[in-house]
Structure 1
Amino acid sequence: MNRSQTLAARVKHPLRGAALAAALAMTGALAACSSAPPLFSPDGRPTTLVQCPAGSDNCEQQAQAMCGGAFDAMRNTTENGVRSLLYACRAK
């Protein structure tokens, strides 16, 4: 058996194929966890995303605390009982 036949025999083995598939899946999952570059508002200010329970004003409180006052809401959504607020701090 030559080297290419040996390699082909290894790849066809079900456990090795499963291990390769698992390794590729884990690599993809880790790549998805990498940090993304920050998003910016149309006027160039960096934005921040906070999440809080739906129906509470905790998102606004977090935004005010982080901005030291005023902020602009870029997007405000609620899904599955979780509210997401994307905001940008106003210039002081």
Structure 2
Amino acid sequence: MNRRFSFFARRACVMLAVAASTALGGCSSSAPLFLPDGRATTLVECPAGSDSCAQQAAASCGGAFDTVRQSTNNGTLNLIYACRAK
């Protein structure tokens, strides 16, 4: 009986750890596609209503970036951006 409880307790801990890491990973990104001028684009997803996508884009580009496309779906902001030439 003690072994059975231990198995379920460990399994519950693993499931909680996975859920916590998913929740904490609020932003994500994908592999780049390219604009006609050759600049790489990046997609970031963040919670709608936050400015974390823009902050992540600015940090990645070292400042200025162009928004290629932006949409909101099910509470998630999708931002595709390209860094401006320096």
TM category, shorter: 0.5 to 0.7
Match of 1:50 in 2: 44
Q: Hey, which of these two has a bigger chunk of strand by percent?
A: 2
Unpaired runs of at least 5, structure 2:
1-29
Aligned length: 57
Unpaired runs of at least 5, structure 1:
1-35
Stretches (4+) displaced over 3 A: none
Q: What's the offset of the Cα at 1:38?
A: 3.1
Taking structure 1 as the reference length, the TM-score comes to 0.58
2:83 to 79, 89, 92: 89
2:54 to 28, 52, 60: 60
Larger Rg: 1
